[in-house]
Every structure is written in C-alpha cells, then in structure tokens.
Structure 1
C-alpha cells in the first residue's frame, strides 16, 4: 500500500528564535518546536536529560504505606515473593526488585509464570503455593491490577499483596494492601506512562532512600538504570518524560553494566564495548529475553539477568540466542500462513486471523509484522481445542483495549494498553469477534486506515552533513513518542542503485550527480526494476553513520522512496504572528489605547461604575488573568458581564465597556506581551498600566531562575569540600534541596563537574574534578537564564520610563 507523506506546517519565527538561543540548525529547532519544545527551557531539559528531574517515588499515594509494610517485613525477616511477567518488562522488573531487596537484607524469592501452562497475571495456584511456603507478602510487578479474586484469596491466607503495575485498571480494583500504578485515577504520580519496570524502579528508589545507607544503595540507583532502560525500550512505552531520562542514562550504564548476565547478552549480540542505541536494544537484545518466555519459560531470561557467574551467564546467553532463532523461524512460518490467508481478498478494516497450529507466544510479533505490511489493526489468535488465546496490535488512532472492551461479552479474559493487548475467548466465538470488531471499525473515518508517513523536515541533499546528524543525535534516545527524525528530499538525482543482501532484498542507492551520497532501503528488493527506470526520486529518510575502515560517513536510512510522493498539504507557513496579522487585517483591529496609571494611588484609579474589567496580575510568582472584582471603586460582579464561548477551558466574557489592566510591573517582556495578547483575544483594546513599583532585583532573579556567578562559585566550593569527605556523597540531608540549588546542580552536571546517581528530595552526587577552568557560559541553562535576567532588567527600565502608544 502506497503511503501518503505528510509534513508539519512551518512554525516560522518561533523556531528561528529557539534556534538562535540554542545555537542549533534551523532543521533541528523546527523539529523541536513541532514536538512541543518551543520554550527554550523545555528544549534544554529535553536535550540535556538529568536524573535531577525525576519525580519523588513518594508522589505515589500508597508508597509510604508500602515502605512501612516492607520495613516491618525486613525487621521480622518475613518471606516476600516477587511475582512477575514473562516478557522483557516483567523479567527486568522482577530482576531489579529482587536484587534491591536482597541487597537490603530481605528474605525474597522471585517467580515468573509459564506462558503456556499458566498464562499472564497472578494465579490462584501460585498464591496457594506461596501460602504453604510461608510467604507473608507478595509484590506483583508488571501485573496484578486485574487480580481481584486472587487478592481476596491471598487475604484469606494472611498474605498482604502489594501491586506494582502499569496496565490500565478495570472498573473494580483489587483490595490489595497497596497499589502502585501511575494509571490509577488518584495515583498521585504526575507521569502516567511508566513501563512496569519503571514502576518497580520507583519502589526500589523509595526502598533505597528509606533503608539504604552509605554502604548499601548510594550508587545502586544509577546501577539499576540499565535494567530499567531494557524493560522500557522493550515494552514500547513513550520515550518521553521520565522514560526518556531512564533510557538516556540506562543506555550509558548498560555500556559498563555491573550485571554479568546483561554483559554476557550484549557480548552475544556483538554489542560489547560499543556505544548503544535504543534501536539496537529493541531489535537485538530484548528479543532474546522475550524468546525464552515466548517459546518455553521466561525463567532462563530471569536466571541470566540474576546470574553473578560470567561462565553460566555466557551459557544462558547462547541458549537464548538459539531460542530466539527458533522463534524467528516459527514467526516466518506463521507470517507466511497469515499473508496467504489475506492475499487475493478485500482487505478488512480490522484483520482477525486464527489457526490451530499457531504458537501463542509468537502471534503477537506476527501481528506487529502484519500491521507494518497492511497498516490495519491486527488480532492474531491461537486455537487450542475449545479455547483460544490472542494478541492484538493497533495503528495510530485505533485504541485496541477500548475496542476489545466493547466485545467483553465474547471474551473470557483481556487486558493491555491502547496499542497492544492480550485476550482469551472460546474458539466458537472467533467469528463473532471478527464481525463485531469490523462493525465497530465503521465508526472510524476511512482516512484512519491510510498510512501516513510523517516527515519532520523537507531538505535539500546539500543540507545533509555530519554536523546535522550530530545535532539530531542530541534528540536521542528515540522511540514511541519521540521517533527518530525523518527528513525528505524531492527530485534527488539518482546516480546508481542495486540490490544487496543475502536474498537481494535490500536496495543501495548512490544519490547526487556524482553519487556522493549513499542510501540504503531495506526489504524493498522487489521494487528494483521500477526504480531503476527513474532519473530522480523522492526519498524520505533518517540519518545514520556508516563506518567503514575507520572512516565515518553519513548514510540515508530510507523509510520510503517514490518516483513522485503524494503529499497532504505540505509546508504551509502558519505562525502565531502571521495568523494574528491576517486576522487583524481582516477585522481592521484597532490600535491599543494606553492609560497611564502607573504611579497613581489605587484610590484615584478612574474606574467607572459597572465597567467590566479584566486584570493581568503580575504581583504573584506567576502572572494570572482574572476579573477585577476586588479593585476599589469598581462594581465588576458577573451580573455586569455577557457570557460567550469558551476560552482555554473557561467561559470567555465580553464586557460592556472593554477595559484591561496590567497590574504590577511585569517581571519579563514575555509576561507583558502575554497579557496584552490575552486582552486582544477578549476584544479589549483599552489597557491601563497600574500599580507599577520597581521590583526587587532578587524577585526578578527568581522569576528568571537566574543564579549569579558568585552564588554558583560558592555552591561549587561547598560541593568540592563535601566530596573530599566522601565521593559519591549525599547532598541535601535533613534539609530539602531548594529549586535554586537544583538549578545550580543541573548547570554543574551539564558542565561535567558532577554526576547525579539518584535521589529525589536529597541527591546522590559524584564529584568529577575539573580539568579546565570553569566556563559558565558554555552551559545552555546558565546562558539562557542570564540572558533573560539581563533582558528583564533592561525591559523594566524601558517600561518605567517610556509612555507606550502602541504595542
């Protein structure tokens, strides 16, 4: 199926401003703006992830309760069972929590159910065995949120169950001792997209902060992040927010992992002593662990990651490679059968396929392959007599779990995510499920089932360079929610092309009049003849390094190539400024009438009775827009206002007499412009400047988040002194680290003088002796806040001494 190409509308001036502040290519700044990082401070935090930005694990409402129970279990030396899942997320979650509990002195055992014999989730038989073995606490990882009956059974056996999970909860929650799941409506946690291993890490983090000490745990948080990254990448959760931080640092930690099993697996994949990327982990490392759980038992993968014996770890890594090869062969066979069932027939909106001989552990992967091939939601089902088990994969805009839930009357069990789910049903109901899902799919717009290739930027071939690739790499790690940037060139001259690979299934290109640029397209070998006839091609591609004999060149990793691509309204310029100018020109928007009440006492403000008034109030820590009900000499009750349509989720109000007030001296020019823009949106063009007092420089500094050089030097010396006693060391102690101190730590980390190893209210820091003189301006964080502070002081001087006629 031919894909349609789509490009975002240009952000114009916004990306230009961001690019100038960050010192990056217009291509990179445009992509940052398109992905929601328009504000420089947000872009900097994105480009420079830091563990200092992790949320406290105690944001979870049930976390303190959980730590109290586990502290008691440690004191009593009660038996704790960690109950996991058989995929990579579950195996890494189990490994991580087990290692932390053992290091802290707990009596813990780990258990992962068998996919074929037991299936997903907490099972009654396992609870019964745990009770007989004297287990007092069961901690589920990457499962348990739907185990209502099993939790009741555990309570009758005097077992406390602590659920850590990230799957969508059902309408009825288990009556567990505690539930730690960011997707709970009232979880208390600000980031809902953690993988199962991310949730397990938050519990481990809380344990280390509560029960760890200088001998146990001070460096462990960082050392756990390789496991967190592995599970997060494998589970295909969005690589944004905390997940981005986990993967960024986890990949670094993986390169020098202290887990012998993971080291052996990396060596088996040919990745030892190499810089690691998320894609390599997702396509080479994770499938080997998954293969164990898919083909037989996940316990080999768990033993590998828990192993402290390098020889045994190498043996297990080889075993997982063999199982992965078996999985690949089985996958090929099932995929071929599935394709044969679909070829030559009209393609349904939702693909639902089933057969008796399909391996249940592999159908999920095949479903993903079919989604790639046909761009349809796919439900693959393995029949086993009267019962059947299936896996589903979705497309953008098609909520798999929600669609499955509408067929709950046909299912014996189901659960999962928006884009992937597992389910069970009776074999006789498969046809009803097929009909039901396709009937439901008629409610979606037909365009949903047309694959669109989203291009981040249209470029020319001479824009492709090593420097551009280096800047794009700053946006890594890539994955769901932060895909690798895709560029596109139109009408590229084709110098040569030819099939390559064992089965001649790939095509290598030389582009440019002299063949100066190389490109490679995978799995399109059948298109060779058609493409050979073209002198120019449209190509959409990512960039990567091609290393050969010590030389590094930029290579185009082609995602799609067409003689002439079909576009959906590409490259339309649509900035806020341009849009405003067009509207203003159409409506003949009036100029602003400025009323100068800056130095006038409040009692003398000439407000008219019943005059509706909006106030842009700059007296707090952040400016706010509100009605002026509490101002002297005014009657601004809601009765004097006419309600109209919504504005930013609140009712827009049109006043009888349009008057706006900028109250208090805005701390920055951005604050002032934002207030004026809000008045324009309300149709207000009479604006009074009132209550101006020159703010204290310290308040301006705080608003701009600026820390002076002297303050930084003082903190630098304090950290250096602290490191001489112990390195790494705890910073914070009994006194919580302030926002200003945290901002300073981020600057030092960006400059390479410290490394944060973990923590939330207090931090584990490693001091790195400076080799060169401290150059604060090389920190983008410091440079940005200093520029803002200087601009704010300049703006205040102008605003206090100038009469404004127009904006």
Structure 2
C-alpha cells in the first residue's frame, strides 16, 4: 500500500523569530517549532543540551529512603544483590549499578535470569537462593514493578527490596522497601520516560553524591554516561528531555570510554576512533549484547561490561559477534516462515502468529520486521508445549499494552509499554487471543492501518548542501521520539538510476540536470524498471555524509520515492492560525491599568473570572481564588459594576505586565479557548528591573566576570573541583555555568546541588556573543523592556486591538 506523505505545518512568524534569533536556516527553524520548541529559549536548551539540566535524583519520593537503607548495608557489610534483565537495558543497568556499589565498598553481587529457563523479572527460585546466600538487600533494575508476589516472598525471607524500574505499574504495587519508577503515581520525578538504565543511573547519582569521597568522586557521573546511553538507545525510549541529554553526552563519552569491555565491543564493530551516532549504537553495538540474552544467557554481555581484562574483553566481544550472527540467521529463517504464513490469507488488522519451533529470544525482532513490512500490530508467539511466550510490537495510535489488557483473561502474564510488550499464554488459548485482538481492533478507523510518512519540510534540490546537513546534525541524537528529519522534493529531475549491492537489491540515483546530487534507496531494487521510466520523481529523504576516497559529499538517504506521491497537508497548529478560519467574536477590552485591585468592578462575577497571571515566575492561567480576595475592601467591591460583565462566558484578566508579545498572545489564546471574549488589563505597575532580569534569565557581563573569577580561583587550587559546596547554586550561577560550558571553559562531571566541574583554560580570546544563551538572554531583556514600555504607554485599548490585529484576533 502506498504510504501517505504527511506535510508538517509551517510555522511562519514563529519560525522566522527562531531563524533571526539563533542564526539558523528556515528549515531548521520550522523543524524546531514543529517539535515543540517555538521560543528561542526552549530551542537553545534543545540545541545546546547540558548536564546542568538533569533533575536531582532526590526528586524521587523514595530516593532518600533507598539511600538510607543502603547506607546501613554499607556500615554493616550486608550482601546486596543487583537483579537485572537479559536485554541491553537490563545488562547495562546491572553493570552500572554493580560497578558503583563495588567501588563504593559495598558487598555487592549481580544476577541476570536466563531468558529460556527463568523468564523475565523476579522469580521465586532466585529469591530463595539469594536468601540462602545471605543477601539482605535486593535491588531490581529494569524490572520488579509488577512483582507483587515475589517481593512478598523476599520480605518473608528478610530481604529488603529496592525496585528501580521504568515499566508501567499495575493497579497493585509490590510492598517493596522503596520504589524508584517515574511512572508510579506520586513518584515525584519530573521526567517519565527514563529507560531502566536511566532510573538505575539516578540511584547511582544519589549514591555517588552521598558516599563519594571529598575529591571529585570515585567515578564521575560523566564517565558512567556511556553505559547509560547504550541502554537508553537500545530500549527505544524517546530521545527527548533528560534522555536526549544522557545520550548526547554518553555518545561523546563512549568515544573515549574507560570501560574495557565496551571499548573492545566498539573495536569489534569497527567504530573505534570514529564519531559515534545513536543509530550506529542501536544497529551495531546493542544487538551484540542483546544476542547473548536472546540466544542463550545474558551473562556473557554482563561479563563483557564488567571485565577489566583486555584479552578477555576482546574474546567476549568476538563471542558476542558470533552469537549475533547466529541470531541473525535464526531471525531470517523465522521471518521468511512468518511472511509465508501471513501471505496465505487476507491481511488482518492485527497479525498474531505462533509456532512450536520458533526461538522465543528472537520473535520480538521478527515482530518488528513484520511491522515494517505490513504496518500492522504484530504478536509473535513461541509455543513451548502447553504454554507459550510472546512478544508484541505496535504501530502509531495502537496502544499495545492497553489492547492486551482487553484480553487479560487469556494471558497468564504480561507487561510492557504502549509500543511493545511481552506476555505468556496457554497454547490452547492462542486462537481465542487472535480473534479477541482483531475484534477489538475493528473499533479503530481504517486510516490507523495506513502508514504515514511525516515530512518535516519540503525543500528544493539546490538547498541540499553540506551547510544544511551540518545544521540538521545539531538536532541529533536521533531515535525514537526525535527521529532524523525527513525532507522532500517534488518533481526532481532524474538523471540516472542503477542497481547496486551484491544482490542488486538497492538503487542509486543521480538527480538534477547534470546528475549533481546522489541518492541511495535500500531494498527497492525490484522497482528499477518502474522508476527508470520517469523523468521526474517525488523524493522523501534524510541526509548523511558519503566519504569516498577521501572526498566527503552529501548523500540523500531515500525513505520513499514515487512519480506522484500521495501527499496530505498537516493540520494547522496554534490559535493564531485557527482564528483565521473561525468566526470568533471580537474582544471587548476593559482598561483597568490605573485601578488598584480594590477598585476592580468584579462583584458577583468572580466565579466566572479567569486570570492570565504574569506577576510571578512563568505566566500561568488560573481561576479566581479566595486568596485573590485578601486585602480587598468590601466598600470598594460594592462599586457599581458594568452590566455587560454578567453576559457570556465570563471575564478574562491579564494581570501584570507580560514580558513579551508572545506572553501576551499566549494569555489571550488561552482565554479565548475558554470562550472568554471580554478581557481586562490590570496590575500594570512596572516590574522592578531585577525581576525582569530574572524572568528573562538574563545575566550581566559584570556578574559573569565575577563568577568567572570565582571558578578560576577554585581551579588554581585543585582541578577538577566542587562548586556550590556550602549552599545550593543560585539561578544566576546556573545560567553562568551553562554559558561557560557552551564556551568550552568548563566540563560538567556530576552532581546537582554540589556539582563537580573541570576547568578548561581558554585557548584564545573569548567572545561572549558566540554563546547562544548569552546573546539570546540580552535580546530577551531588551525585548521585554521595550514591550512593557509600549504596553504601559498605550493611550487607549484601541491601540491594543490595533497591535494585535484586525478584529481583536491574536496576531502574535
């Protein structure tokens, strides 16, 4: 079935603002706005990720409790077991936590269950063996949040269980000593999408910050991020927020890793000495570790990441390559058999396949391959006598775990994510499971099962340059949640098409009148005759570098190609675009700028009042509360009110001076979405300059110089060094540190309140304006002062309406 090419919405003025503020191309500006970074400040934090933005591990409600229990275990030399999972996320989590516990002096041991013999997660036999071995604290990594019975058994055997996990919890939580899982209700942690290794890393952060020595730790957190990045990439969690920061720095650390086994594995993959990308790790490094757990036991992968013996590391890396080759052969056989089964009958909405000779460790990968081929949710099941084990993979809009829940009466065990899951089922119930899932899927629209290729930006062939690719690379690391941008050209002149590869299964294109631009499309060799007939083609592609005989050129990596692609425009975004197509009433403006709050004519309408409050930190939308009544005079409140205030959907109040036109426009947009079209401006007393600076996160050159001198003085005593030892780092200091990090003056090594830094002497004279953060903070401050002056000095609110656009519609 021909894929739909869905064009993302262009962002017009928003993208132009980003382009001008950040000095980026309109293509990059549009992509940033599409991905949720419409303001320069947000875009800068995305383009310049910093470890200084990592939340404190103690945001977890149970973190202090977990650390206290481990502190007791350290003092009493209790045996601590790290219990992991057999996939890459679990293996990296186990090795990470075991390394840190051992180096901090804990009596630590590690254990990963055998996929075939023991299955996923905590199991009773392993817990009983741990009790006999004298384990008194058990820490799960990448598992445990659904292990209610197993944790109860551990408690009965006097083992305290600390759960670190990231999977969706069930309704009943285990009665563990502590649970660290950002998806648990009231967990306290601000970022939900950590991988299992990400949660384990938060525990190691807390341990290093609590038990690390007075120097800059036994391990710096930075040196551990290569392991965290490896597990995060492999587990396909969204590469946004904290995950993006971890992977960005983890890849840089991986290039100079201090972990002997990981270094050997990178060498084995032929990546030693090369800049590393998330895609390379996901397709070359991670599968080798995964293969051990899939085909036999994950212990070889764990040993590799833990060993410090160079020869043993090389031996294990070669062994994992052989395991991976065996996995690939098995996968190829199962895939061919699965395709033959599927194509015997009409394609169902949900593909459910089973066999008594499929290897359970490989069926998840095959399920992913079938999703790519047929764009259907796939449930692959390996029958093992009366019982069977399965893996599921979904498509966009199809919540795998939720759909499995509708068939829970047929499953003996299941768990996972929205996009992927694992389960156990009686073999005799497989057919009922297939029927049930497809019956449930009939409720979905047919369009859900038609694959959509999202095009980030349409471009012309002459814009496909090295400069554009360099700018696109600033959006990396790419992966789930932050895919590599897909561009498209319409009616591109085709100069030549040729088949390449051993089996001539790939196509190479030359585009342009002189064949000046090269493109490669994989696995579509059978279409050569069809495409050779066309003089022009629509091409969807990403960009990459092609290094050939020392010459570096830009290459189009083709995602889809047709003579006439099936185009569909994206939906409009934002109130200011919707307003042009809706017949919204004009705004009735009320001028209360010169009134004190006691003089506002609001008697009898407070329950209808919505306030866009710009007087605090970030602007917020709130309903009138009792707190707003404090200090108001009943005599003043009984002043005659305007009759029209009691008509319609209520009253909106923009309280205080917004800093920017965007703040102002956002407030009006939110009020209009509530159906409010009568808006008062109030509380327009000028903010103190210092408050404006804080809101703009602006820092003066003088403040930067002072902090620079403080850092330099500390570095002269000892380098690396701790900063913020006596008190929490102030917001001004944090801004300065981010600027200095961007300028290459410091390297962040770890910590949240008390942080570890390495000073890097400047090699040349520094230009503060080369820092995006510094330059943009100055611009924000100047814009804020200018906008506030304009808003305060308006003679009448007719001026306001004029400023916002004809008819009172938001135009900002």
Band the TM-score falls in, shorter-chain normalisation: over 0.9
1:589 matches 2:586: yes
Which position in structure 1 is the counterpart of 2:463?
Answer: 463
Contact 2:489 2:540 in 1 (8 A): yes
Which position in structure 1 is the counterpart of 2:799?
Answer: 806
Q: Is the alpha carbon distance of 1:79 and 1:790 closer, same or farther for their aligned partners in structure 2, counting shifts above 3 Å?
A: same
1:621 matches 2:623: no
Q: Is the alpha carbon distance of 1:580 and 1:103 closer, same or farther for their aligned partners in structure 2, counting shifts above 3 Å?
A: same
1:757 matches 2:749: yes
Q: Which range moved further: 88-97 or 766-775? A: 766-775
Q: Is the alpha carbon distance of 1:728 and 1:443 closer, same or farther for their aligned partners in structure 2, counting shifts above 3 Å?
A: same
The C-alpha deviation readout for 1:463-518, integer Å capped at 9, x for no partner, is 11101101110000001110000001111111111111111111111111111000
Q: Is the alpha carbon distance of 1:800 and 1:12 closer, same or farther for their aligned partners in structure 2, counting shifts above 3 Å?
A: closer
| Post-superposition offset of 1:567 | 1.3
SS of corresponding position for 2:395: coil
**Aligned partners of 2:597 and 2:560: how far apart in 1?**
65
SS of corresponding position for 1:502: coil
- The 5 Å alignment of 1:603-642 reads 605=599, 607=601, 610=604, 616-625=612-621, 626-627=623-624, 630=629, 631-632=632-633, 633-634=636-637
- The 5 Å alignment of 1:37-436 reads 37-215=37-215, 217=217, 219-436=219-436
**Aligned partners of 1:600 and 1:156: how far apart in 2?**
68
SS of corresponding position for 2:567: coil
**Aligned partners of 1:252 and 1:14: how far apart in 2?**
32
State the aligned residue count.
790
The C-alpha deviation readout for 1:629-666, integer Å capped at 9, x for no partner, is 6355235999x99999xxxxxxxx724xx6x6554444
- The 5 Å alignment of 1:539-618 reads 539-569=539-569, 576-583=575-582, 586=583, 589=586, 595=591, 598-599=593-594, 605=599, 607=601, 610=604, 616-618=612-614
Q: Which range moved further: 483-492 or 406-415? A: 406-415
| Post-superposition offset of 1:672 | 4.0
The C-alpha deviation readout for 1:437-473, integer Å capped at 9, x for no partner, is 1111111111111111111111111111101101110
Q: Which range moved further: 662-671 or 516-525? A: 662-671
Contact 1:63 1:203 in 2 (8 A): yes
Contact 1:12 1:573 in 2 (8 A): no
| Post-superposition offset of 1:694 | 3.1
| Post-superposition offset of 1:738 | 1.4
**Aligned partners of 1:385 and 1:688: how far apart in 2?**
72
SS of corresponding position for 1:654: coil
| Post-superposition offset of 1:618 | 4.0
Q: TM-score when scaled to structure 1?
A: 0.94
The C-alpha deviation readout for 1:647-695, integer Å capped at 9, x for no partner, is xxxxxx724xx6x655444444444444455566667676655544333
SS of corresponding position for 1:544: strand
Q: Is the alpha carbon distance of 1:738 and 1:676 closer, same or farther for their aligned partners in structure 2, counting shifts above 3 Å?
A: same
Contact 2:600 2:637 in 1 (8 A): no
| Post-superposition offset of 1:77 | 0.8
**Aligned partners of 1:529 and 1:397: how far apart in 2?**
35
Q: Which range moved further: 762-771 or 98-107? A: 762-771
Which position in structure 1 is the counterpart of 2:809?
Answer: none
Contact 1:363 1:390 in 2 (8 A): yes
Q: TM-score when scaled to structure 2?
A: 0.93
Which position in structure 2 is the counterpart of 1:704?
Answer: 696
**Aligned partners of 2:580 and 2:406: how far apart in 1?**
47
| Post-superposition offset of 1:610 | 4.9
Q: Is the alpha carbon distance of 1:504 and 1:802 closer, same or farther for their aligned partners in structure 2, counting shifts above 3 Å?
A: same
Which position in structure 2 is the counterpart of 1:769?
Answer: 761
Gap runs ≥5 in structure 2: 801-812
**Aligned partners of 2:170 and 2:605: how far apart in 1?**
52
Q: Is the alpha carbon distance of 1:283 and 1:611 closer, same or farther for their aligned partners in structure 2, counting shifts above 3 Å?
A: closer
The C-alpha deviation readout for 1:61-91, integer Å capped at 9, x for no partner, is 1110000000110011111111111100000
**Aligned partners of 1:367 and 1:11: how far apart in 2?**
37
The C-alpha deviation readout for 1:408-434, integer Å capped at 9, x for no partner, is 111111111111111111111111111
| Post-superposition offset of 1:587 | 5.5
| Post-superposition offset of 1:614 | 5.7
Q: Is the alpha carbon distance of 1:677 and 1:806 closer, same or farther for their aligned partners in structure 2, counting shifts above 3 Å?
A: farther
SS of corresponding position for 1:513: coil
Gap runs ≥5 in structure 1: 645-652
